[in-house]
Every structure is written in structure tokens, then in C-alpha cells.
Structure 1
Amino acid sequence: MLLTDGQGIPISAFTTSAQDAEVNAIETLIDVRVTKKRPRRLLYDKAADADWLRDALERRGIEQITPHRNSRRKASRQDGRALRRYRHRWKIERTISWLQYQRRLLVRHERHAHLFEGFVHLACLMICLRWF
């Protein structure tokens, strides 16, 4: 999982099991960030459309901007104004593509997750150094 700032510079990254749902790891992703400043908004795909997650992030002072799933039964909790910010998600997708330039990350050869996560952090560091 990857958390970036508004320019696409990685702030937080860690790996989880492929069997776990990503939604359960979003709060951990925010907790392990390298900056002291808490993000104001979280842009995520439809997989994170959960009311309990929206409530948890609102308690932290973070606005979740996520399009609603088509199968959602409850009424929408955000209007179209907030979803206009979702069009900036391309910056996150660009950062993910930068990470995939590293062959070591594109095909996982490591048997241990902590080794793979180390290479993810190294690739994020290389992206950060390219910006400065």
C-alpha cells in the first residue's frame, strides 16, 4: 500500500498479505507515514467505500474522497464537489508506475515479506531523491 502527497511523492508504504482486505490497512498506512503533518484528504478507489472507515477517518480529521460502489445500499455521504478532487488520483497512479520501473518490485523474487518491503522503501527513496 502506498500513501503519497499531492505531488505524488511517497509518504508511507508497507506491504500486507494478499489475502487481507486493503480497507483494513488504511488506518495503519496513515499511522506509519514519515511526515508529522497529518493528511487532510484521502483519495481512494471504490474498494474503500465503507461507512465505518469514513467515520474513523473523520474522527482523525481526514476527509475521505471515494466514489461509491454501484452495489451501495445506503445513501451517498458526499456530493459531487468532493468527488471533483478524485480526478487528481492520476498522481498516485503515476507514482505506482514509477515504482514498477524497478524490476525487483515488478516481479517479487523475495520469499520474505520484510525483504520485499525493504526494496519498496528503497524505490520510494529513489523517487523522493529524484524530486529534490
Structure 2
Amino acid sequence: MVRPGKKGGDQVGKTKCGKGCKVVDIVDPHGTPLGVHLAAANRSEVKLIEPLLDDLQIPGKAPEHLLYDKAADSDPLRKRLQAERGVELVCPHRKNRKKKPTQDGRLVRKYKRRYKVERTYSWLHNFRRTIIRYETTLLRYSGWIHLACALITLRRL
């Protein structure tokens, strides 16, 4: 059977390594997933943080600090998050940064807890279906991601 249409599925973007999909999640201080956002892999991570906070499952409760890696080192993003949501973005500055650093050492010390986020990613990758995206529709793939997050949450209880 020949199916006419676009190959690759919804929200699949080209990267240096091929095609893919980004899974960005937000976790509580213990590593339990609270919200997940899926997007094409060719989208910038700076543009994925605000939709991720919109997908947060706890209404009215925004985190005080948001720990992220160097990909989110953006002064306009820091200002938007602080002004609109009251969230402080904690991420180390990139090496090639031209402007003066905006964070002192006290705030960056919170970054040592980033391992809890990475640990949650490793728990998510224990489910084979979430590592490689076999589904062509984003709805089915997000269903598998949400099921994996629910199982991780149940294990944490």
C-alpha cells in the first residue's frame, strides 16, 4: 500500500545526525516528572522552555528556579522568565559569551543539583519505546512518553 504524504511524521526535524524529536521535561526536586513538551529536533532549546512551563501540570505553581544546561544561555530569555513568570533561570554561561556574566557563583551553585534532571532522562530511556521514535504521529509518541512518565512517578511513590 502506497501512502502519499510527507515522510517522517509530525514534529520531526533534521539535525546533524539525521532526523529526530526533542523531549524536554520539567521535574521536581526529587526527579519526578511534572511536565513534558515534545518538538522537532531542529528547534532551538531556548524557544522550548516557555511552552514547557505552559505544559506544567500543576496550575498556578511555577518553580522558583529553573536549572538548565548551557543551551539556554540567553539574556532575553532570562529577562522574560523573570519578568513574566517570576522564574530564575540557572544555567552556566557558554565559553564564547561576549557580554558580561549575569550570574554570580551563589546562584550557579544550585546547578550541582542538575544530576536529578539527567537521572530522570536515564529513567525515561529505560523504556525502549521512548528512545527511538517509531511512531509517525506525535500524538502516539507523546502517549508513550506520558505513559513512561506516569510509570516513573508511580515508582517514585
| TM-score bracket for the superposition, by shorter chain length | over 0.9
In the TM superposition, 1:2-17 aligns within 5 A as 2-17=25-40
After TM superposition, list the pairs within 5 Å mapping 1:16-31 onto structure 2. Answer: 16-31=39-54
Match of 1:120 among 135, 141, 145: 145
Match status 1:50 vs 2:74: yes
Q: How much is the aligned-residue C-alpha RMSD, in angstroms?
A: 0.8
- Paired with 1:9 and 1:25, the residues of 2 have a C-alpha distance of 20
The two structures have a TM-score, normalised by structure 2, of 0.82
Q: Which has the higher contact order (CA 8 A, sep 6+)?
A: 1
Cα deviation digits, residues 40-85 of structure 1 (max 9, x gap): 0000000100011000111111111010001110000010010110
More strand by share: 2
Residue 22 (structure 1) shift: 1.2
Rounded to whole Å, the distance in 2 between the matches of 1:126 and 1:13 is 14
Aligned length: 132
Large movers: runs of 4+ above 4 Å:
none
State TM-score, norm by structure 1. Answer: 0.97
Amino acid at match of 1:56: R
The 5 Å alignment of 1:47-126 reads: 47-59=71-83, 60-126=85-151
Aligned partners of 1:71, 1:17: CA distance in 2, in Å? 26
Unmatched 5+ stretches in structure 1: none
Cα distance in 2, alignment partners of residues 115 and 71 from structure 1:
39
- Following the alignment from structure 1 to structure 2, what is the Cα–Cα distance between the partners of residues 5 and 88? 11
